[in-house]
Structure 1
């Protein structure tokens, strides 16, 4: 084999030409940068702040309920109403056998008439012969009249009490006794309710009463929380509530306060007394709770090199500008922020870590979200 010596000079020249060629190619083909606006999702600021909700279980009650009982004992001869029956104020509900009370009234009336007769006789005698009967005897006879009058009135009231009438218009919730049953005085016979207005009673712990809500009275604080009632088996039903009353001392066992919230059921409403439901109340934004300002998605917040929290505000010319913010409480994916922002400002909520100052952006939202932004 013939040996050919290695020509290093030729190799260097060849490599030099190749590098020169590559260099000239690079100069002739400059890199093209992507100047298209970056797609981002946006969030519109409103004035709601970061509202929270608190829930309580409760039971529905009538505003007015009366447990009806006779004031006197006796035997029920007739109950005029049945469970669920609609009643009107003054309607006769039930009756006791009145015969014993009629006899008592007759006897008391006879004693009264006798006492009146004695007084009249004394007056007549004294008119004919002055001083024939002493003044003391006349006073005793007049006292007997007063005593007999009171007895007659008691007998009349007892007879009247053998009939039971409705205190108000409403419905019969429950008849508790049967006809011809003997009942004692003050024994519950039936329950009537006014179901035109209802309340829901909830038990509120001490900790909930300490939540700072605007208002000077319990009624103002409760109403400012915009309470509403919902029921698990009626998911589309949401009934606004207003404050009615609240206990001023807690239950010694549970340390809770009873609050009653009132509402007016619509005609034909399935909501009835005795049902259970849930009360949802809003806790308005508060500086004390660090929920004031604007509630924004946590993805809208980023931190700069100094560790300060910022958001990207989208300007009218569709560029982003960083705004330093103070962070507050977080809840359900939202975080409260305060800074140089106003209602209606748009914030970028995607790609915040890749945006730069004054970078052009283009908002992308699905149809529902876009409509929400425009509202």
Structure 2
């Protein structure tokens, strides 16, 4: 599993795009660069959720929140698309899709429903697999995106087509909430982009010049986010609502789709330029970000229920720093080997009994 879900379970060996780690080019070996990127991104996901209760009292925290939300999920989805390039609908890959995405979706959709009945005080919240709850929307979307991979391989202009679909989605408030279809369609271009990328594309963003350029780009993006805090809504980066639902004219949806896509893509490139390509102390954790992604939501939910955000000092600068560090530590622990051993049955189930054995071929 990789992460979030299945982004790191490669259907084909991932070569080292840095050209510096020869071991990463050997078949069956994981690429440290992508595991590092996924770990750093899952930390940003957890930190973003931890910042959410602090936003109302701090313009700076809100600006940082908007900056992080502009690129952390696009980065995950692009990597998920990149690792889906070899998906062809064969029995073996369908089996991995079911065990790596569909079954965890069922388990955690059910678990989050029961858990939030308690934390949210909604005892009659129904269990439904058609309306993803909280974090599970990504699992539902990834399942559908990966199933459509063979189609994107034969389309002449896959990325423009995906962008048009996303633009049309922002104009369609009647799509409903089944499978969180707005998010599925609006995030689709990032997955399709990942399908179109090759190792050389990642090499181009991992240069010294790109790393230097990333500094003023992130600084400018943070300044723009700070300026925009009282003037706009972060909801555009959630990709879960149509333009009309956000109180904007219908024509604004397609324009915002292109603008947000360009902004997110630039920030993803800058983020990836800072990701180390060598093995580090957290590289192995990047192979287990599915655990951190799915499990940290329980911590985030219970933190509000138990009043962890009640102390007033948390809303001061030092408090925000403490919250950031705690969130990073918690999600790191959730990606660790002991946690993986405890929850492997739910995150990486192996129901071999449910599948037909592959027929033997004659020699």
Same topology, TM > 0.5:
no
State the TM-score bracket (shorter-chain normalisation). under 0.3
Q: Which has the higher strand share?
A: 1
Q: If you compute each CA radius of gyration, which structure gives the higher value, 1 or 2?
A: 1
TM-score of the superposed pair, with normalisation by structure 2: 0.15
Q: Which has the higher helix share?
A: 2
Higher RCO (CA < 8 A, seq sep 6+): 2
